[in-house]
Structures are given as structure tokens and as C-alpha cells.
A and B are shown apart, each in its own frame.
Chain A
Amino acid sequence: MDIWKLLLTGSVTTVLAFVVGMLYMGLRRKITARVQNRVGPPIYQNFLDVMKLWSKKSSINHGFMQHVAPLWMIATSITTLMFIPILNNGSTFFTNLTFEGDLIMLLYLMVVGSLGMALGAGQTGNPNSAIGVTRGLTQMVGFEIPWVMALVALMIQHRTTTVAGLLDVQVQSGTWLMLSSPFAFIAALLAIPGMFRYSPFDIVGAPAELASGPISEFGGKYLGTMMTNGAIFAFVKLTLFVDIFMGGASNLGFLLLKTFALYMFPVLWGLVSPRFRTEQAVRFFWGWPVFFGVLGLIQAAI
């Protein structure tokens, strides 16, 4: 492993992820506004926000855990990013650490950030944060199940646990897994809005009710770090999903197309749905998505 190469490609990938993520989030704000018949902020508004937050001079701090929580999250996101194949064309540029981890590890790696977040939020002493965290965790128990069902179905069917392996399967057969394993795809797709915590699953940080929940005590550079992380992590999730179900992308253009198309699903759904309560959300995820997950498993087993 050439450490310098990793440093270079890793940095490029991270920047790419940051930019794409930020743009998508800006687009979401714009689309939401247009749907609601508003003008909305410009697409680059989020860049401005992050720059503003990073340049803030003072912010308050409630202790060590709060201090490390955003770092914890961003470290998680970037590490995760390193293990995800960006392109499927075998180019060595975006390889990073792709072949040195697998899906199971990624599943766990992706929740490490939440833990850091939860602990940081906990230390602030704001009850809203803790309530938000409990809601978030509960909701996670909900959406992880169909998501994992879908992954398990694919992994067992194709006898590999790596993302790269699943990509290979799609490249060689020429079919996307969303077509060959439709039930697993539906189950995973229905889980996606939960991961993004957009409406109707936005009770975790419901601004009117919980004062933004877990992040309510974070400001300044902490919030800036968290926004950065959010952008990277959104890219991570979308790319992972595209890699697994939609055959990956042979170049960055396809990648942007596919991820954007995918991203529109939670966004648009969120626009037309009122908020679920926590238990309703969990019940939702354990309803149809799990049903499709079971179908997917059965398909894989047969």
C-alpha cells in the first residue's frame, strides 16, 4: 500500500464527496422550496453556511465528549468513504481501501458516528438532545432490519460479502441487482428515507418540537464539522446503494446521475408526507419493508 497515493486519492475522494453532498443538500432545499411555491435559497447556500460556521470565533463547549463528538462523526464518514468503491471500471484512482473491508464491517462502521454524536449530545445536558438520540436509535432499530435483510439476501445469493464483489457480479452479468433481486431492492429502498432522516422520519431532530434534537447544543465549528460530515455521509450512503443495487458507475457522470436519481426518492417522498411518530416509524419499517425483505430472502434461498 502506497501511503502517499492513499493520501492523495483519499483527499480527492473526500473533497468530491463533500462537494457532491453539499450540492445535493442545496438542491434539496431548492426543490423543497419550489414545491412549496417559494423561491428558496441558492444551490450553493450550504457552502456559505459551512464557511460561516467554520469562521465563527466563539462557541460554547460542555466538555470533552461534546468536543470530540463531531470529530468522531467525521472520522467515521471519511473512513467509511475509503472503503466504498466509487467507480466500477477498475480504475485504480478511486480504489482507496476498497478491497480491505466488507459490507458487514461497513454496516458497523456507519453507526460509529451515531454513537459519537449521541455521547456528545448527551454530555451537553440538554434534555432535547437526549430525547432526540433515543428517538434516533429507536428509529434505527426500525430501518436497519429491512436494509440488512436486503443485504443478506444479496450476499448469500452471490456468495460474497464485499461491495466490490457485488459490483463484479453486476458488471459480469450486465444486470443490475435491483432488477434481478427486486424484493431486496424494494426493502432497501424503503429503508433509505429512514437513513436520511427526512420527513416523514424526521422526528429525531424535529426543529419545532425538539429544537433540532441531538445537535441543538452544537454551534460554530462543531456545527460546521457536523454539516461537512453530513454532506460526506450522504454521498457515502448514496454511493453504497448505487454500488450495490444499481450496478455502480463507470464514470463520475453516471455516478452523479444515479445517486441523484436515488436521492430524489427520499426527498420527494418527504415532501408529501407528514411526520411519523417514533413508534409509527418503527412499525412502518417492520411492516411492508420487512415483508419485502422476507420475500427477498426467500428469493435468495430459492
Chain B
Amino acid sequence: MSNIIIILAIFGWAILTYIAFRLNKTLGNIFVGLIAVALPVYYFTYVPEDYSFQVMGLTLQFGFTSFSSLFAILVVILGALTLLYSIPYMNKKDRLGWFYLNFLFSIGGMLGILMSKDFVSLFIFWEIMTWSSYLIVIFSGKKVNKVGVKYMVYSAIGAYAMLMAIVLINKWSGTTNISHFFETFADYSNGAKILSSLLLLTAFAVKSALMPLHVWAPNAYTNSPMSYTSLFSGALSKMGIYGMALVAIMLYTNTGMKFFGEALAWLGAITAVLATFWAVFQTDIRKLLAYSSIGQLGYIAVGLGIGTELGVMAALFLALLHGLFKGILFMAAGAIEYRTGKTDFSELRGLIWKMPVTFFSALVAIIALAGMPPLSGLISKWLIYEALLSSEHYFLIILIFLSSTAAFLYCFHFLYGVFLGQREDDIEDVKEAPALMLVPMVLMSFGLLALGTFPGLIFKHISSSMSYLGFNDVTWEMSVLTNEWGNKIYLTHLNTMFMVVFAVFFVIITLVARKKTRRVGTKDIANAGEPILAEDNYHFSQDFYKPFWRVISPVMKYRIETFYNSFANGIGEFFQFFRRVYTGNGQTYALYVVIFLTILFIVGATLI
């Protein structure tokens, strides 16, 4: 019972929060703060318990599995932090009650998904999550039809694919229980196997923005308030990963349908490459991060698709990690937006001078995103490569490497375009973000740092959740990584080495040199002998990666979005033709009646 209570409590609290905001803003903020604190406290102290009841002749079952609780940790932590972050971030906006209502509904929806042990309740919570996130995507009131409806349509395509799978599964196995489906899957006919698993995969692929179903994501991520996008990209998209993991491992890997797993991995790799390429050329920080998210989700799909122990481990680790670092990055973007009101690279520069804490949080996140030591990103990358190597995926690994190398490009673009470069007068009034916005970012940065050396903190949960997927006895060590061929890396040594050398030189150069150096502004530069005037700004922000664009533009010209749009238009035009049937002339309608009658007679005479 306690399981479902937590979700109902969140929903109830959402409504209470809505009412509180109608009464008084401060009261509402207090309500939000309370749930943000209560959520992790409650989650980490309660005792899980299974619960089921009958609805409409279907049995709904609830309860965490060891697998879903892994994701629940992410949802709870990220949900609480983003809620805290939202309090100052959203403070100046209108209709806060509405915002938090949907915010809490989507958190409740996510927990509900993770708690569902049968497909019907999974679908119900899935849809609750979808429409509540939809209502937040259109919250800003901008481009509601273009972005919002697109998001809803793609979500619906996914959700309806899932619904179709659910009814078919219900028909084949007589129950909608998820684990029962997995257990009996091997007995299905080949067609049933392929159909049901592909439908489920489509459903989850939409939410995890796998190409070619990613079209909604960049705009939806961009259009919702950044405090929500942290959760959206960090946790909500992981619901797709959650399902995808179940499909890929329980259905493909464990039943020998490796081909589909391979296909999934390839899709993931293509997603990773193309999304990264697109991210490189974005001029809006939110869009850049959005495409980056899609790319990272592609890596996860690769890990799940190949389905080896190491691959799954990599995927799950990256899924959690992505929640952390993309959470920080979107929060940083939000902080910048909050203080400057701008998100375009052409309008931002030099913010390191004004927002150092934000910068360092973002730096930590970027390093983790790029996969460099000494942060935890390296571990996820390492696991993926090792998994691909040991399962002999020659070309996938090249694609992944291409993607992660190209990722350096946008990582630098993000840091440079926003925080570095020549500062300008228009940022003189900018202040560091409010403390309540910084706290979540800094906390998550520390998390990334800790995981960089001690990934075992999370491997513990991952290995127990992987036992649900059929990987028993996954070995892990606190800070040593081992691949299938027995090659190891010692993270403590690596990181200590790096930090010690860094520290030694830091001390030397600071003590020896820094005292004698002079701090100058960004306009005091050697510009090939020409002095720069104070009013000129030479910040480099236009056509940032023009040469790279020249290289890959032949590929980038073909956008699947154009195809989708013309398809949708085609459907519209097709039915436009049918509208002509309703001519407005009553006599024509009468004629239809007679025509129909004639057809019925003829059909009746021949068929019945």
C-alpha cells in the first residue's frame, strides 16, 4: 500500500500546492520547498511493499523492482534539486501554481512508471507524465502549436505504440503483468516477438529521443523553463531508457534476438553522431544542450543495444550520470537566463567574471560530459568502449568515438561562448545566481567529482539492479574498472597522479610567477600590433565552427523533419479532399443515401 500512497501523496500535494499558490506566493514556495525536502527523505527511509488491485477487470500491480529503484533514485534526487532550484528561478513568473502542479505531476508520473509492475498502470503513469510535461513545455506560451503539438504528437505516437503492444500482450498472455510477459516471451511466435518488442521499443525510443523519433526534443527542451528541462532531460527522458533497457535486455539479449539489439545499437550510434553534429552548430545554449542530450541518450542506447554486461553497466551508469551533468548544465543555462535574460551566444560573453560558481559547476559538468579524467564521465565512456571492443563492434566504436570527439567542439563552444571571451559593459550589472539556485548545482558537481574516483558508490546499485535484468553476480570494485579481457584501470592512481602533478605545478607557478604577474582586462591583448579600442569588441561568436560545417554540410542537408512535415501536410491535404464530400447541398446528401442503399443492396445480394 505504501507504494501507491507515495504517488497519491505527490499528486495530492501538487493540488495543494496549486491552491497555495492561488492564495499566496510565499505559501506556495514553502509548499514546494517542503516537498523537495520530504521527497528524498521519505524515499530513502520507507520500506517498499507490493500492492495490487483490480480495475476494470485488469489487475494493477505496484512495487519497485531492484531495477526500477535505480532510476527512482535519480528521479527523487534530481526532482528534489530541480524543485529547490525552481523556487528562485520561477519566482518572477506568472501562473506558478499551474507550473508546480504539472511539475509535481510529472515527478509523480515518473515514480509511478517505475513502480508499475503491469503494463496498464505503466501506460497510465506514462501518459500522466506526458501530458504534464506537455503542459510545461507550452508554459512559456511561445510557439505552443509548433513545439507543443509536435511534442504531444510524437509522444502520442510512442504512447500509442505502447498501447498497441499492451493490448496484444494482454491478448497473447492473458495478463498485463510485466515480469510475466518477460518470462513467457520466449514462448511467443516469431511474429509476436518481433511485433510486440518493436512496438514497445518505439514507445520508449520516442521518450528517449532516439533518431528518427527525436524531432520533438530540441524544441521541447528549449521551450520549457530551464528548471524543468533539467528534470526533463535528466530524468524524464530516462523513463524511455528504463523501458528500452527492459526491451533490449529482457527481450533481445536474453532471448537470442540479437539482431534487433544490434539495430538498436546502430540507431543509437547514428543518433549520437548526428545529434552531436547538430549540437555543434547551435547558436542558442539551450538548443545546444538539448541536442547534446539527444546525443548522450544515443550512447545509452548503444550500450543497451549491444547488451553485454559491460554495455548495460555503461548504459546505466551513463543514464544516471547524464541526469547529474545535464541537470547542472541546464541549471547553469537557467541561471544565465535568469540573470541576463539572454540565451543566445551572440549576446553572451565573459560571464566567468560575474558568475564564477556557475562557471565552475558548468566546467565540472562539461568535463564529465566530455568524458575526460579525473571526472566520472571517463568511466562511462570507458565502459562503453570496452563493451564495444570486447563484443567486437568495430564500426560502432568508430561512430561513438567520432561523436564523442565532436562533442569536444560544442563543449568548448558552450564554455567559451557564455563564460569566456571579451567581457563587455552590458554584463557589469550581472550578479551571481541566487544561493538556492547554486546549491543544487554545487551539490551535483560534488557528486560528479566523487563518482569520478569512487564509481563503486553507484556500481553497488547498478549491479543489484542488473541482477533483475539477468546479469547475476556483476563484479564491481570501488575504484577499479575491469574489462572482459582483464585489463584494468586504477582510478585512484590516475586521479591522484593528475591532481598531485597539477597541485605541485600550481604551487610552483603561483608562488614563483603569480606574484610578479599583472592582472589585465580582456581588451589588453596582443592583436598583431594593433591596439584595440575600448568600444570595439572582438569576441568571437559568429560562424563558430564554419570549417567543420563546410566538411559535414553534405550530410546535414537531409533532415528527417522535412520529411515528417511533408508527410503531415500530405495527410492534411488528403482529408481536405474528403471535405468536398460535404458539399452543403442537402440533395447531394440525399443522393449519398440512395447510393449507399444501392451499394448495400448489391453487397447484401452478393455477400450475405
Contacts and interface: CB of A to CB of B under 8 A. Distances in A.
A and B touch in the complex (CB under 8 A): yes
Interface of A: 1, 57-65, 67-68, 70-72, 74-76, 78-79, 82-83, 97, 100-102, 104-105, 108-109, 111-112, 114-115, 118-119, 122-128, 130-131, 133-135, 137-138, 140-141, 144-145, 148-149, 152-153, 155-156, 159-162, 165, 211, 216-217, 220-222, 225, 277-279, 282-283, 286, 293, 297, 300-301
Interface string B380-394: 011001100100101
A239 to B, nearest CB: 17
B352 A65 contact: yes
A97 B491 CA distance: 11
B487 A126 contact: no
Interface residues of B, number: 75
Contacts of B416: 118-119, 122, 130, 133
Given A101-B489, A152-B398, A279-B547, A225 B409 contact: no
Given A58-B516, A75-B505, A126-B526, 20 more contacts: A61-B520, A62-B524, A64-B352, A70-B505, A75-B502, A78-B497, A79-B498, A102-B489, A109-B372, A115-B411, A125-B538, A126-B527, A128-B527, A134-B412, A134-B547, A137-B412, A156-B394, A211-B526, A221-B509, A222-B509
Contact of B485 (A100, A114, A119, A160): A160
Contacts of A300: 394
A283 B551 contact: yes
Contact of A71 (B352, B408, B506): B506
A282 B490 contact: no
Contacts of B509: 67, 70-71, 221-222, 225
Contacts of B401: 144-145, 148
A100 B494 contact: yes
Contacts of A282: 547-548, 551
B397 interface: yes
B409 A137 contact: yes
Contacts of A137: 408-409, 412
Contacts of B513: 59, 220-222
Classify the secondary structure of B's interface with A.
Answer: helix
Contacts of B485: 159-161, 165
9 contacts: A61-B519, A64-B352, A65-B420, A100-B490, A144-B405, A161-B487, A162-B487, A220-B513, A220-B517
B441 interface: no
B545 interface: yes
Contacts of B422: 125, 127
B522 A62 contact: yes
Classify the secondary structure of A's interface with B.
Answer: helix
A97 B385 CA distance: 21
B392 A278 contact: no
Contacts of A61: 514, 517-520
A119 B373 contact: no
B547 A76 contact: no
A75 B518 contact: no
